[in-house]
Structure 1
Amino acid sequence: MRHYDLVVLGAGSGNMLLNEEFDHLQTAIVEPDRFGGTCLNRGCIPSKMFVIAADAAEDARAAERLGVHTSVAPVDWKAVRDRVFSRIDPLHESAVDYRRKNGVDVYTEEARFVAPKVLQVGDERITADTFVIAVGSRPVVPDIPGLDSVAYHTSDTIMRIDDMPPSMVVIGGGFIAAEFGHVFSAFGTSITIVQRGPRLLMTEDEQVSARFTDLASQRHRVLLDAEVTSVEPHGDGVAATVVCPDGAHVIKADLLLVCVGRRPNTDRLGAAAGGLELDEHGHVASDSAYRTSVPGVWALGDAVNHFQLKHMANAESRLVRHNILHPQDVRTLTNRVAPHAVFTSPQIAGVGLTEQEARRDKADYRASVRDYADTGYGWALEDTTGFAKVLADPAERTILGAHIIGPQAATLIQPLIQAMAMGLTVDQVGRGVMYIHPALTEVVEQALLAL
């Protein structure tokens, strides 16, 4: 068996862990798929490139409200798709070559633990003093009768299709459904979303979730409190039987997109043989320093946390790197402030406590909501639906949560994220900072001042 100082399983955020500080060690990366992981190849990066194109088409159509008369010719799907993947696809080979040229062994076969700190990779077994598990996650495929008889898609495959479908059924009402619903609708596809719950984006603050559900229902056919009970082929497309509060309906479409969640890839890892403990959701159990139940084995990313956020995995990668290199100065990451964004239309961003969580936890809080339309820039945008919401502790005067729906939400929320991370009060971040007039950031300022 070949022995290493360090072996990293997974070349998404796991690949980011190795830098020049490890050059003196014998290291290896195990990645049976593509370097860059979900984010680069099937997630954040390509989907946002599609979103940018969808935003351009949507903005052009909406320009008439500003007195600018435009039209959008049929979208060239293949040109949009090829722009995305002609830039992304070459990165895998260059990443593998870079690692090998710099002394890192790269294994491209499936790997499973056969004993603690003993890894079977293809026909070879390797051991290491230190392992980092960063094997990521994959889409959940629900047990729907007939699903195996139709050519359905998930977020892994939908961006690489050859032709834009005239119609699409989307199973699921989370962020993937919201983003791809926006993309394909902007490109001209008729969208039907089937959501089991009473609103879309159920994990968002309920006020944001309700506003987005209302806006999405104006663009798409949205079936709430509904469930797909079976699917079957229908011509070149699919027919889905959907049970709604008013009875069963058969929805026919050219394409079926399944996006009901993701699961960690730890079930392919041989966790039990490797002595690794998993939680009830299949995530590797770890402490706040990301040490697992096996000494010398660390974990990060979707394999260990429940956030499924690239920026969280990146932060964990930096932390685990430090802890491996400095065992006498082990640091922790509490995950107290974990922001997120949904790049749909309108854009959504959130961090911290939602109002429904505050009520559930019987927390003492105050909330403030300010509409985009109350600001000069929001007025210029003719925006009538966007708002910023901030929740704070009335005793400590610190921010408990922030939620924004509207243009540039993912950017506008950043000062609130920093305020929460640094423990600043609403007074410090509201009155103690100047906000440019008439920039859109004034919606944040006004929400804080009202609070």
Structure 2
Amino acid sequence: MKHFDLAVIGAGAGGYVAAIHAAKSGLKVALVEKGKVGGACFNLGCIPSKIMIEHSKLVQKLQLVKEWGIHTSNLEIDFEKLSKRKDDIIHKLLENIHFYINNASIRYYTGEAKVSKEKIVTVNDEKLAANNIILATGSKPFVPPFKGLETSSYHTTDTIFNITELPKQLTIIGGGVIAVELAFSLAPLGTNVTILNHSSDILQTEEPDARPIVRNKLMDLGVELVLDFEFKEIQQNEVITSRGNYPFENLLFATGRRPNTEIANNLNLEMDGKFIKVNEHFETSIPNIYAIGDIVGGYQLAHAASAEGIQAVEAILGNNPAPINQTVIPRCVYSTPEIATFGLLEYEVNPNDCIITKLPLSSNAKALMEGNKDGFIKFIASKKNDEILGACVVGDGATEILNSMLATKVAGGKATDLTKIIFPHPTKSEQIGDAAKAVYWRAINA
């Protein structure tokens, strides 16, 4: 039986990062994955969806420049070639991960793992003994048990990225981040998209002021938004709702994900609802067995899982790391325009204790040059001590623009520190400096 300091079960964004960090910290590591390295993020989620969104952004840009006076010949979409490009990029990224794993001298196993309370991992009839185990088994799509569902074929977020032909029509059930991003991926290419979301709005976990901007953009792209209704049943190729009947050619469920807790259940780990209960170092109810990522709740984001993996490894190394500060984990929506936030949102703070500033991008020179005037930068600071409590950027490139504010907060900086940065002009980032100055009523462009 081989012996390891650490066995990591699952080679997704959390698992492989934890394994490499542990190996480079001097631990002997085994990494077990039953599917493809990279997990859902690289193979079934954030990476393929963002590649498709990049394709669609170019199409939207071509439509925009026609208004400026730049005319092109008839636009043709070779979706098969676009799909191949997506697959090629993913293949390269997975090759890179395998290289990093090998370079760190990690023993990699392909197969389904079974774990005992004695920390014995069995893979393909081979037994591995580990002093510590990290469970990073991820999640799977959740499909609600709709009446009549068995009468129709449908996609989940695990299958939609396998398509090689551009669908003429797609009905998406769900109104969260994944549903919206997939609508932006396909509608600009020519797919007639319908979003059916029983709630009163889309993106209900995101900044409220961003939602109408994204809604309007979806409708500009021809997406049919159907909100605030009750589902009744599915009849072959038709969704029956309290608002009416909606026929479909292709159906996608983007209705969230559920944690893969089979190993946790077999170990009889203590649970917190449907998630594994862990402490601040992600240790479970069994000492020296840890859990990270989608199986422990919190932000179900690849970068959050990676941070949790490193946190668990640091605890295993005996470094007693400080708990992860949830307010510095960025949340991103790759819509058009993008939404990027960290910390608290406006409705989560007491307005008597905070100063909230909001500057539109329509006054920003670079945004106007690029034709991206829809959006804003919102900044929340404490009246008491200038602490940066939260921020939101809505606009093209928001997921990059946010980082200077986030870096300032992580470094212990205050709102006053952002006012001291000399941002280059013209850039969209310079709006950050003005938003910070607005805290002290000294903004130039407000």
> TM-score by structure 1 length?
0.89
Letter in 1 for 2:17: M
| Aligned position for 1:279 | 272
Shift of residue 213, structure 1, vs aligned partner: 2.3
Shift of residue 133, structure 1, vs aligned partner: 0.9
Q: Which moved more, 1:169-178 or 1:21-30?
A: 21-30
Instruction: Kindly indicate whether residue 246 of structure 2 is the aligned counterpart of residue 257 of structure 1.
Output: no
8 Å Cα contact 1:41-1:89 kept in structure 2? no
Q: Which moved more, 1:332-341 or 1:192-201?
A: 332-341
8 Å Cα contact 1:50-1:84 kept in structure 2? yes
Distance 1:351 1:95 in 2: 28
8 Å Cα contact 1:199-1:210 kept in structure 2? no
Distance 1:290 1:169 in 2: 38
Shift of residue 409, structure 1, vs aligned partner: 0.7
1:116-168 Cα deviation digits (max 9, x unpaired)? 52444454554421101111112111111222332211121111112111111
| Aligned position for 1:58 | 60
Distance 1:99 1:375 in 2: 44
- 1:164-183 pair list within 5 angstroms: 164-183=166-185
| Aligned position for 2:444 | none
| Aligned position for 2:436 | 448
| Aligned position for 2:443 | none
Instruction: Kindly indicate whether residue 344 of structure 2 is the aligned counterpart of residue 353 of structure 1.
Output: yes
Shift of residue 257, structure 1, vs aligned partner: 1.1
Find the residue that maps to 1:5 and give its secondary structure.
Answer: strand
- 1:1-16 pair list within 5 angstroms: 3-12=3-12, 13-16=14-17
CA 1:148–1:103: 2 relative to 1, 3 Å: farther
Shift of residue 85, structure 1, vs aligned partner: 0.8
8 Å Cα contact 1:351-1:401 kept in structure 2? yes
8 Å Cα contact 1:57-1:72 kept in structure 2? no
Shift of residue 61, structure 1, vs aligned partner: 0.8
Instruction: Kindly indicate whether residue 207 of structure 2 is the aligned counterpart of residue 194 of structure 1.
Output: no
8 Å Cα contact 1:6-1:28 kept in structure 2? yes
Distance 2:61 2:189 in 1: 12
Shift of residue 351, structure 1, vs aligned partner: 1.0
Find the residue that maps to 1:173 and give its secondary structure.
Answer: coil
8 Å Cα contact 2:364-2:428 kept in structure 1? yes
Find the residue that maps to 1:192 and give its secondary structure.
Answer: strand
CA 1:114–1:295: 2 relative to 1, 3 Å: closer
8 Å Cα contact 1:352-1:400 kept in structure 2? yes
- 1:301-320 pair list within 5 angstroms: 301-320=293-312
8 Å Cα contact 2:326-2:343 kept in structure 1? no
Instruction: Kindly indicate whether residue 84 of structure 2 is the aligned counterpart of residue 82 of structure 1.
Output: yes
Distance 2:418 2:96 in 1: 44
Shift of residue 49, structure 1, vs aligned partner: 1.1
Shift of residue 82, structure 1, vs aligned partner: 0.7
Find the residue that maps to 1:223 and give its secondary structure.
Answer: strand
| Aligned position for 1:299 | 291
Letter in 1 for 2:343: G
Find the residue that maps to 1:11 and give its secondary structure.
Answer: coil
| Aligned position for 1:420 | 409
Distance 2:252 2:301 in 1: 21
- 1:36-435 pair list within 5 angstroms: 36-71=38-73, 73-89=75-91, 104-219=106-221, 220-233=223-236, 238-244=237-243, 249-266=244-261, 268-269=262-263, 271-280=264-273, 282-324=274-316, 326-327=317-318, 329-358=320-349, 364-430=353-419, 432-435=420-423
Structure 2 unpaired stretches of 5+? 440-446
Letter in 2 for 1:16: V
| Aligned position for 1:32 | 34
Q: Which moved more, 1:326-335 or 1:396-405?
A: 326-335
> TM-score by structure 2 length?
0.90
Find the residue that maps to 1:70 and give its secondary structure.
Answer: coil
CA 1:261–1:363: 2 relative to 1, 3 Å: farther
Structure 1 unpaired stretches of 5+? none
Shift of residue 170, structure 1, vs aligned partner: 0.6
Distance 2:97 2:432 in 1: 40
Distance 1:72 1:433 in 2: 45
Find the residue that maps to 1:18 and give its secondary structure.
Answer: helix
CA 1:425–1:22: 2 relative to 1, 3 Å: closer
8 Å Cα contact 1:63-1:70 kept in structure 2? no
